Amino acid sequence: MKTSFVLATAVGLASAFPGMAGINMKEEGMKMLKERHDAEQQEKRQLGDVLDGVGDLVGGLLDDVKGLLGSVASAVDPDNKRPEPGYEFQAPKKGDSRGPCPALNTLANHGYLPRDGYVSFDQILEATARGFNMGADLATVLGVFTTLTDANITEQSWYLGSSPEHLGGLNRHDTVEADISPNREDYYLGCGDNHHLSSRLFKQNVALAAQNPSKEFDFETMGNQFAMNADFSLKNNPFIYYFPFPSIVSVVAYNFYPQFFSNGTFGAGGVANYESISSILGAKLNKKTGEFQYVPERFPDNWYRRATPYGAVQALTEGFTGIYPYNPVPMPIPQIGTDNFSPQTLLCDIYNGINSITPLALGGALEQTGDTISWAVQKLIDVGLDATTLGCPKNSISPNFKLYPNKKQKGGPLRLPRSQYRWTGSNKYNRVYFTEAPTQPMCKHVSKP
pLDDT score at 57: 43
Q: Superfamily assignment of 38-447 in CATH?
A: Chloroperoxidase-like (1.10.489.10)
Q: Using one digit for the tens of pLDDT, what is the confidence trace for 268-318?
A: 457 898 999 999 999 999 999 999 999 999 999 889 998 889 999 999 999
CA dist., res. 155 & res. 209, Å (int): 42
- Name which of 14-28, 102-116, 258-272 the model is least confident about: 14-28
Q: Using one digit for the tens of pLDDT, what is the confidence trace for 355-390?
A: 666 545 434 444 445 677 778 888 988 998 888 777
pLDDT score at 206: 96
Helix axes 274-281, 199-211, angle to 10 degrees: 170
Hey, what long-range contacts does 12-19 have (CB within 8 A, 24 or more apart)? 12/335, 12/338, 12/339, 12/340, 12/341, 12/342, 12/345, 13/317, 13/320, 13/321, 13/341, 13/342, 13/343, 15/339, 15/342, 16/342, 16/343, 16/344, 16/345, 17/313, 17/317, 17/342, 17/343, 17/344
CA-nearest of 161, 183, 164, 165 to 173 is 161
pLDDT score at 55: 38
Q: Using one digit for the tens of pLDDT, what is the confidence trace for 130-168?
A: 999 999 999 999 999 898 888 887 888 999 999 887 777
Helix axes 219-236, 244-259, angle to 10 degrees: 150
Domain edges within the chain: 38-447
Over residues 314-332, the mean pLDDT reads 93
pLDDT score at 62: 75
434 contacts 292 by C-beta, under 8 angstroms: no
pLDDT score at 119: 98
pLDDT score at 34: 44
Compute the mean pLDDT over every residue in the chain, rounded to the nearest whole number: 80
